[in-house]
Amino acid sequence: MSELFEAVDALVASRSRLPPPEERKRLRRAHGLTSDEVAAALKVRRATVSGWESGKTEPRPPEREAYARLLEKLAELYPNPADATPPAQAPVPATFTGAPAAEQQAPSTGPAPEAAAMTASEPPQTSAPAAVPAAAPRPSTTTRPAATSRRPGAKKAAPAGTPVGTDPRFANGPLAVVDVEDGKVLAYCVGGLVLDVPAKSLPALVDWTLREAQLGAPKLVGPGKDADPLIVLTAAALERYGLPTALAGEERDTGRLAEGHKVVKQLARAEWRLTKRGFGPWVRIYRPVTGSERACVQLCIPAWNALDPRHWGHAAQLPPAELARVLGTYAARVMTPRGSTAVTGLELMTALHPPTYAVRDEETGAWRKADGKSPGSLGEDPVDCAPCEAPDGHPLLADLPRFHIRGPQEKLFEEAYDWARPLTDAEAMRRHLVGLDVNMAFGAGANGLPAGLGEPTHVRQPAFDPKLPGSWLVDLSHVDLSRVKAGKEWVELDGALLPSPFTPKGDRPAGPAWYATPTVAYAQELGYEVRPVEAWVRYESGRYLDSWYTRLRDAYLATMAELGVEANVPPADFLAAMDGYRDRDPELAIVVSAIKATVKGGLGKLRERPRGEGWRPGERWRALERPTWRPDIRAAVISRTRINLHRKLVKHAAFTGQYPVAILSDCVVYAVDGAGPLDFLPYRDGKPLPGGFKLGVNPGLVKHEGTQTVLWGEEVRDRFNAPELNLARYIKDGTINDIDNGE
């Protein structure tokens, strides 16, 4: 009888109901899964999953039953919006979070790290999203908008062309800039709306924001959480609510108000809490989560340097309406700022890959936190890095002798290029030095990168696997750049004129050293054998940064399109569009800078160092307690981008005989006769050299960084007696502010 039951079960499974092909793809993408991950789980090929999602083929037993179960579970998490029940009848699953995530980490105030970045193959020429709003005329920065009564509670109009939220819960957008005018407190929102604010104190302002302001933004993915409303306080608003317009004395040194300040006490009496960062330039004010309800408001105080001018330009000096437009555009295209651009970049990773998700309890029907972490996420618990990946002072290195300096055999050192060489006699006879700069370099390097999602495993004498994320101890000193493979062909090059792809300074390795997977894989690609001695590998992996890159790429392209720089245009038109693009709309140009800083800073945060607080070498610091402290992912991104840049250098040299004279991060300088990129890049009939440099706005493509004369370069090097001074550092405008080559 049991055999009959099994036969019946198999027969039922063979006809398991499946949603339409397009719905299958939607559900997979909604959960952040790649076709590779689904294929691995079902033990089929990636092409098989693609066939199921395109409708070309249908799954057969036994995979059909498992695939149907996967789609059923995903459909519970991400119901089709067309079939969704109104929120009043179908409550949204709770997001299982404790105190706000920002409580775990204060924003970075240090300079954003640099890294070179090029993709292994050019990213698709994706244009800006179809729903990009047309650029609106910029309002005057010296006049206030006229009054309007477009909506109840609205008093004045902010600049047009600012994105507006469509979720009715957040009808007034993600944020508001609160100012005082003629004795009245006004909240300048995005989308042409200014509200009267009745709040007389800061606790009352927080209550008004949560109860009446209708501010916030919907979650980015199904298992995520809605963005908390952001209130930006101008100097006049600071005075109205009893806050200083500038931090002074000890408060300036600590970067926050003293715990005994009267406003901090007001919040405490009203039972509001502050995160560990305290009341500083970015403030999170919250009450503990009850059920599915969050009560949290974030404050931004530009007068206290919340908007770092290195990344936000002159945003802090903008009138309220224009500032709401700048921050609102950034919030709509990236996310509501959570702190510095670096903090926001890191928070965006978590927002797109939430560590947990909700499931419905089969017995009670209530929503509860699922067991285990969300697929493709880093989870809720931090994991220790491998000893070779640990920065100096990490607890894993506490047993090392004092003042011990780790060499390449002990420490993974994957950084961006900082390399230069003297000009050859032939190059010294050229007329110009032309710099090429890679667009959104960090993001392009992260695109498509397999990242380790779990703990490292130590392996001795491993067989190298280019698809396995990790760190490898291997000798690459035998790789000779004079004869390498470029694709399937062996090519002869002048290896002395090329930097080594294996070290940031371009020096040839002297022996075994630790490298990230992309670096070792490139040695194989060049046609040389690799034999690792040991490795720390991560068997659980996924393309963790893909959705992060995609969102930032789309934000960048959308904003550049509004500034008149479109994708998929001829190279000459692209160069013409880039000329003076920032002057067409200085406020939108601020958004571009902030987006690029979000990319760099977010990846830099993956290996954040101690930030004071009495830390001593060998002790843990706060950043180690978050799951997104992952120096291995940062190293892999930098490794991949440096390697892919080198691949283009090889292609260009093999085809043209031209070699770089300086590289700094994502900027490459060539000595040529022409004055611009089109004078030496090998375009034919408008098409670039396959695998070489290509002009365009997309991340991974290049733009013109600057042109100086060869005489200028030689004079600068002679003046400072530095024959290898990195001219890429000064190629943009020729201005030299330091003479130590950046060390």
Structural domain total, the chain = 2
Question: Residue 257 — pLDDT band, cuts 50, 70, 90?
Answer: very high
Within a domain: 169: yes
Q: What average pLDDT score do residues 555-567 get?
A: 96
Is residue 645 within 8 Å of residue 116, measured between CB atoms?
yes
Same domain, 39 and 158: no
What residues are paired with 436 via a beta bridge? 668, 704
For residue 24, the domain's CATH number is 1.10.260
Task: Average the pLDDT over each of 62-76, 334-348, 420-434, 510-524 and give the range with the smallest value.
Answer: 62-76
pLDDT at 133: 36
What pLDDT is recorded for position 152?
Answer: 37
Residue 327 resides in a domain: yes
Query: Percent of the chain beyond pLDDT 70?
Result: 85
pLDDT for residue 87 is more than 90: no
* Lowest mean pLDDT, pick from 49-53, 116-120, 306-310, 395-399: 116-120
720's CB contacts (< 8 A; 6+ apart) are 739
| 521 Cβ neighbours under 8 A, 6+ residues apart | 464, 466, 643
Please tell me whether residue 537 adopts helix, strand or coil conformation.
strand
Mean pLDDT of 36-60: 83
- pLDDT of residue 33 exceeding 60, the answer is yes
Domain with 181 in it:
104-114+132-338
Domain final residue pick, 315, 338, 361: 338
Phi-psi region of 721 (alpha: psi -120 to 50; beta: other; left: phi over 0): left
Give the residue, 292 or 126, on which the prediction is more confident. 292
- Judged against a pLDDT cut of 50, whether residue 122 lies above it is answered with no
Is the pLDDT confidence value at 232 over 90? yes
Q: How far apart are CA 562 and CA 585, in angstroms?
A: 9
| Mean pLDDT score, 272-279 | 92
Q: Is residue 165 part of a domain?
A: yes
pLDDT at 11: 52
Mean pLDDT value of segment 124-129: 38
What digits encode the pLDDT tens for the residues 575-590?
A: 999 999 999 999 999 9
pLDDT at 673 over 50: yes
For the segment 101-107, the average pLDDT, to the nearest whole number, is: 40
Is residue 71 located within the same domain as residue 203? no
Instruction: Look at residue 270 in the predicted model and tell me its pLDDT.
Output: 94
Are 238 and 323 members of one domain? yes
Task: Determine the pLDDT at residue 738.
Answer: 58
Specify whether 253 is located in the same domain as 295. yes
For residue 105, pLDDT over 80 is answered with no
pLDDT value at position 149? 31
Same domain, 155 and 296: yes
Share of the chain above pLDDT 90, in %: 66
Confidence of residue 686 (pLDDT cuts 50, 70, 90): confident
Q: Report yes or no on 214 lying in a domain.
A: yes
Note whether residue 594 is domain-resident: no
Q: Where is the domain boundary, 338, 361, 379? A: 338
Residues 13 and 74 in one domain: yes
Domain presence at residue 44: yes
* 632-to-393, 396, 452, 518, 636 alpha-carbon distances in Å: 17, 15, 8, 12, 6
Mean pLDDT of the chain: 86
313 lies in the same domain as 192: yes
What does the pLDDT look like over 451-472, one tens digit per residue? 999 999 999 999 999 999 999 9
Residue scoring higher pLDDT (150 or 499): 499
Do 56 and 108 fall into the same domain?
Answer: no
pLDDT(125) > 60 = no
pLDDT at 584: 96
The predicted-structure confidence for 709-725, as pLDDT tens digits, reads as follows 999 999 999 988 988 89
Same domain? For 162 and 285 the reply is yes
Q: How many CA atoms lie within 13 A of 580 on its CB side?
A: 3
Closest by CA position to 296, among listed 312, 270, 326, 274: 274
Residues 110 and 67 in one domain: no
Based on the domain organization, do 54 and 159 belong to the same domain?
no
Asked if residue 148 is part of any domain, the answer here is yes
Q: What is the pLDDT of residue 684?
A: 84
Q: Is residue 600 part of a domain?
A: no
Tell me the H-state helices in 91-175.
none
- The encoded tokens of residue 242 equal 């009893």
pLDDT beyond 90 at 158: no
Mean pLDDT of 56-60: 83
Domain end among 306, 338, 370: 338
pLDDT, average across residues 484-494: 91
Same domain, 331 and 262: yes
